[in-house]
Structure 1
């Protein structure tokens, strides 16, 4: 019987069909070996701006599928994906793009993997910053890896994040509802986007990612825009309580069932 949610086979955004097989051939078999080179394939927009790239290059940030990201990457430099690019030859993207590529490579090698959306607590003391990571299953448990920063000197175990170093959107929401965190300190650095609605948004995105639909960090659907505008109330908070509970319990049938809710499911037009 097929798994309720298949984390080994490619999903809508992690399918690498059509990508040059020779570029993928050197991808190793061990999970960390797979994840480590990804930090040399993507560059954040803020880091790319001083490079004088053509303006259209920044549209790469809007690409959802990993296959299209890699085709753009290989058009810039056809070297294998295990080869770090000079900054100007990397695709422009966010932490979501780093995480998506590592997830796609892990699945390419038959390793169960998934992307998680939430907040890193190791970037700034006392704050949770909007962030995406990758998880792979080692046969016993899910291991959380910060693919973007793997190998960098940060106050966290980036190859195996410890509890509390990264909070998924649901984990952060549950902690907020229990009074354990200040929601005003959770959000997107460099913006005014902080507070409970930011946590709610990442909880919904994380539920979608658990269903193999890894959206862009700024994609909105369901009642997310209303939440950001402060136009939702107690009923939506209760729905997010359910999202947090189901994602924490991580029972695939329940995760899949909840994702069918009209306020939570990503519209097909955003996927296709």
Structure 2
């Protein structure tokens, strides 16, 4: 068997519970996740206790859903008040959306990269979701649905979000300044941040959607400035393969040295 079945759950997007009340429209499904996750800074503004912030470390969708039901047993179609949402990052919005779409048998995948719409002139570390419709991948940012940051968050325009690989190619071609790409509110900016998201995006295309701070292979060395031209050429390969979107090539590259997520980290 070849290819990657994006309509089926992966190790981190399996939802064990029966969710028969889910809508069928992809945008409606993603809209549910918008009311199920809350960012840490918003959680603090609502006075949530520090014991809740471990939710930010949840990787598998089934554990995210279990945490939601522990807070409120209502169906996922019922919007939670902010204090009863799971604390998570943009990755949790994207992965939960992806998991719900796959639960409905809709081809979907999470993408790791940078959004250009939060701060003018900057690409900020971010995750979104894609789903397959009418022969193309539609990019949707669940976290900002209903907002006015972009014209249509349910179908992001070209350039509004760049995957890690797309950002790397733009950097190598001189179309972006890597110093303007990074993690908001931190000192983590530059080529190493783009490399890290290129590797995470490759894993996500292989249905292994890790946390934004997970590291494996030579990622830590890259962040420390200890990798050189050979590793950059590997990033070139990642960018090219991900852009071509050939599932067999994506799978083969992911299974090469340095790029496969260790099973212990997934578990």
2:60 is equivalent to residue 61 of structure 1: no
What is the TM-score with the length of structure 2 in the denominator? 0.98
- Quote the residue 1:16 is aligned against: 15
- Quote the residue 1:254 is aligned against: 249
2:87 is equivalent to residue 92 of structure 1: yes
What are the superposed Cα offsets for residues 71-106 of structure 1, whole Å, 9 maximum, x if unpaired?
100111111111111111000000000001110110
1:79 is paired with a residue whose SS is: coil
What are the superposed Cα offsets for residues 140-168 of structure 1, whole Å, 9 maximum, x if unpaired?
10000001111111134211111101000
2:123 is equivalent to residue 128 of structure 1: yes
Rounded to whole Å, the distance in 2 between the matches of 1:126 and 1:205 is 23
1:152 is paired with a residue whose SS is: coil
Number of aligned positions between the proteins: 267
Rounded to whole Å, the distance in 2 between the matches of 1:82 and 1:158 is 20
What is the TM-score with the length of structure 1 in the denominator? 0.96
2:8 is equivalent to residue 4 of structure 1: no
- Quote the residue 1:145 is aligned against: 140
Q: Which runs of 4+ in 1 moved over 6 A?
A: none
RMSD of the alignment, in Å?
Answer: 0.9
- Uncovered stretches (5+) of structure 1, i.e. residues with no partner: none
Change (3 A) 1:156 1:262: farther
> Contact 1:117/1:206 (CA < 8 Å) preserved in 2?
yes
Q: 2:230 aligns with which of 223, 231, 235?
A: 235
Rounded to whole Å, the distance in 2 between the matches of 1:113 and 1:156 is 22
What are the superposed Cα offsets for residues 107-137 of structure 1, whole Å, 9 maximum, x if unpaired?
1111000000000011111110000000000
- Uncovered stretches (5+) of structure 2, i.e. residues with no partner: none
2:9 is equivalent to residue 35 of structure 1: no
